[in-house]
């Protein structure tokens, strides 16, 4: 009976995959020709202005740029004083592009100044009549993309071979940070992802958007990941697996997000040649990484120590609750002070070599009920699963996403063009 049910489920998925790949033909009715409308950029018809494209250089200030373009000082002062929350003229940055829209008459006075905060967001300073400033953003098109890969050397290299933004690596490592040690992946581990890419004007790439669904196969264990708002009151979005279990744990598996190796484990019977092979217990776990690599808090808590002492060098200690505390040694510098409340994933310092250390690393120490223990051997508390009242809705929500993931084929780890499906829509 189980074989029959399995065969039916397999056939259902195959049919679903086939249907998903079949093109949809839309018939478009013929329309009467309409009058061509002017093309607007940043909300302005550029044909009505003389347009200057430039970049903020060393020594430039908003006031000087405006004075050079014949804007009266009272208008400059009005923007500087009245719109500081919208556009702080003291904070324009070297290298940022800007546009000046000048009048088309012989005076060529600057009428509009457009400062590009980043690829998507910009600030408009309208100098016509009464001055005003406001923020806006370019129209962003989201393109849904599907990829599937096999780990050959590392996740980042596999994603790069698929021609995907490296930031997807960090996004995946954040989602699976509590369940998978990304510093110890195995050759042959597999992954699939459904995510958005953002484009401006349908052509200018502006980074990855949200991850809609993910799949990871590690050491023979399959873990799906689906985003879901489990707390409607606070609008908290978290990732859950195929069984509605929260992928987040109370503690991260490592205090370094990426680019590390486990150089020394917790070992109460360690012997070192330098000390005549006497037993020198190591009550921490060492994560080696380049100097300057961010060190993150593995759980929410309050900083009880941020100082420098003996062989510990510069370090931070955090109390998470009445049961658990953690400590992070040999920092180059701390990013928090005693009494600060930190959230899981906050940067609390950077990898260094202060104190007794033979190389750049962070010695991560873990206390349970006042006793130092090995965090890798502890059954750490998991976050709350989805409430029973939301379980049925969640399972219905992930059903089509799971079918979509199951339909994605794995691409050989050699750098070839991946097969993918693109679906675009406007944000």
- Rounded-to-5 percentages of helix, strand, coil across the chain: 20, 35, 40
Identify the pLDDT of residue 116.
94
Architecture of domain 40-137: Roll (3.10)
Q: CA nearest 254: which of 330, 323, 177?
A: 177
- CA 333 to CA 75: how far, in whole Å? 45
Residues 6 or more apart from 46 whose CB is under 8 A from it? 39, 101
Are residues 352 and 367 in contact, defined by beta-carbon separation less than 8 angstroms?
no
Q: For residues 176 and 211, is the Cβ–Cβ distance under 8 A?
A: no
* CATH T-level topology, domain 261-377: Glucose Permease (Domain IIA) (2.70.70)
CA distances to 66, 230, 247, 402 from 242, rounded to whole Å, are 58, 15, 10, 8
Name the architecture of domain 141-249+385-426: Roll (3.10)
Give the list of residues 6+ apart from residue 375 with CB closer than 8 angstroms, or none.
251, 253, 266, 285, 364, 366
Residue 308: pLDDT band with limits 50, 70, 90: very high
- So what's the pLDDT on residue 6? 46
CB 259 within 8 A of CB 187: no
Specify the domain boundaries for CATH 2.70.70.10 within the chain.
261-377
Helix (H, G, I), strand (E, B) or coil at 426: strand
d(C-alpha 164, C-alpha 155), whole Å: 12
User: How do residues 383-393 score in pLDDT, each as one tens digit?
Assistant: 777 888 999 99
pTM of the model: 0.62
Judge whether residue 211 has pLDDT over 50. yes
CA-CA-CA-CA dihedral for 352, 353, 356, 357, to nearest 10:
100
164-195 pLDDT, tens digit per residue, is: 998 999 899 888 877 887 777 888 999 999 99
How many other CB atoms are found less than 10 A from the CB of residue 363? 25
Q: For residue 65, what pLDDT is reported?
A: 93
* Between 32 and 213, residue with greater pLDDT: 213
At 118-166, the pLDDT tens digits run 888 999 999 998 889 999 998 899 999 999 999 988 888 899 889 999 8
User: Which has the closest alpha carbon to 244: 406, 381, 405, 385?
Assistant: 385
Q: Please determine, for residue 421, whether its predicted confidence score (pLDDT) is greater than 60.
A: no
**Per-residue pLDDT tens over the stretch 264-295:** 766 655 545 545 555 566 688 889 899 999 99
C-alpha 154, offset from chain centre: 18
Going by DSSP bridges, is the β-strand pair 204-218/97-102 parallel, antiparallel, or unpaired? unpaired
Long-range own/partner contacts, residues 369-377 (CB < 8 A, 24 or more apart): 369/323, 372/283, 372/284, 373/266, 374/265, 374/266, 374/285, 375/251, 375/253, 375/266, 375/285, 376/253, 376/265, 376/266, 376/285, 377/266
For the chain, percent of residues with pLDDT exceeding 70: 82
Q: Ranked by mean pLDDT, which of 2-11, 173-182, 325-334 comes out on top?
A: 325-334
pLDDT at position 250, please? 77
The pLDDT value recorded for residue 149 is 92
Q: What is the pLDDT of residue 3?
A: 45
Helix, coil or strand: residue 384: coil
Residue 276: its pLDDT value, please? 55
pLDDT value at 252 more than 70: yes
Mean pLDDT taken over the chain: 84
Residues of the chain with CATH 3.10.450.350: 40-137, 141-249+385-426
Q: Could you tell me if 303 and 339 are in contact, meaning their C-beta atoms sit under 8 angstroms apart?
A: yes
Confidence (pLDDT) at 262: 73
Q: Are 12 and 399 in contact (CB under 8 A)?
A: no
Question: To 10 degrees, the CA torsion angle through 173, 177, 179, 181?
Answer: 70
Per-residue pLDDT, 77 = 92
pLDDT classification of 425: cutoffs 50, 70, 90: low
The answer on pLDDT for 12 being more than 60 is: no
């Amino acid at each position: 009976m189980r074989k029959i049910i399995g065969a039916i489920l397999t056939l259902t998925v195959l049919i679903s995959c086939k249907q998903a790949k079949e093109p949809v033909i839309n018939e478009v009715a013929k329309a009467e020709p309409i009058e061509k409308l002017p093309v607007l950029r940043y909300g302005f018809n550029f044909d009505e202005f003389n347009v200057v494209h430039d970049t903020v250089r060393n020594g430039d200030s908003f006031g000087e740029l405006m004075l050079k373009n014949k804007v009266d000082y009272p208008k400059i002062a009005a923007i500087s004083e009245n719109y500081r929350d919208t556009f702080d003229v003291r904070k324009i940055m070297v290298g940022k592009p800007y546009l000046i829209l000048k009048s088309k008459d012989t005076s060529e006075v600057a009428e509009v100044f457009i400062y590009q905060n980043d690829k998507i967001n910009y600030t408009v300073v309208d100098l016509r009549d009464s001055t005003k400033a406001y923020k806006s953003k370019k129209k962003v098109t989201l393109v849904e993309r599907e990829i599937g890969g096999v780990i050959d050397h590392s996740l980042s290299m596999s994603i790069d071979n698929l021609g995907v933004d490296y930031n997807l690596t960090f996004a995946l490592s954040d989602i699976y940070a509590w369940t998978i040690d990304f510093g110890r992946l195995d050759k042959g581990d597999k992954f699939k992802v459904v995510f958005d890419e953002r484009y401006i004007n349908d052509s200018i790439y502006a980074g990855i958007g949200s991850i809609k669904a993910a799949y990871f196969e590690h050491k023979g264990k399959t873990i799906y990941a689906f985003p879901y708002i489990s707390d409607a009151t606070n609008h908290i979005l978290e990732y859950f697996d195929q069984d509605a279990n929260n992928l987040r744990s109370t503690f991260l598996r490592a205090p370094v997000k990426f680019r590390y190796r486990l150089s020394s484990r917790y070992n109460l019977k360690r012997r070192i040649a330098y000390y005549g092979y006497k037993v020198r217990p190591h009550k921490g776990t060492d994560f080696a990484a380049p100097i300057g690599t961010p060190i993150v808090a593995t759980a929410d808590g309050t900083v009880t120590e941020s100082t420098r002492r003996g062989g510990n060098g510069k370090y931070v200690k955090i109390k998470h609750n009445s049961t658990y505390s953690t400590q992070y040694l040999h920092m180059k510098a701390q990013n928090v002070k005693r009494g600060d409340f930190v959230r899981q994933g906050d940067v609390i310092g950077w990898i260094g070599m202060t104190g007794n250390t033979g190389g750049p690393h962070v010695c991560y120490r873990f206390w349970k009920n006042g006793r130092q223990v090995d965090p890798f051997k502890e059954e750490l508390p998991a976050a709350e699963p989805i409430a029973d009242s939301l379980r049925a809705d969640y399972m219905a929500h992930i059903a089509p996403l799971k079918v979509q993931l199951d339909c994605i084929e794995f691409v050989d780890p050699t750098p070839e063009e991946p097969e993918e499906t693109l679906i675009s829509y406007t944000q």
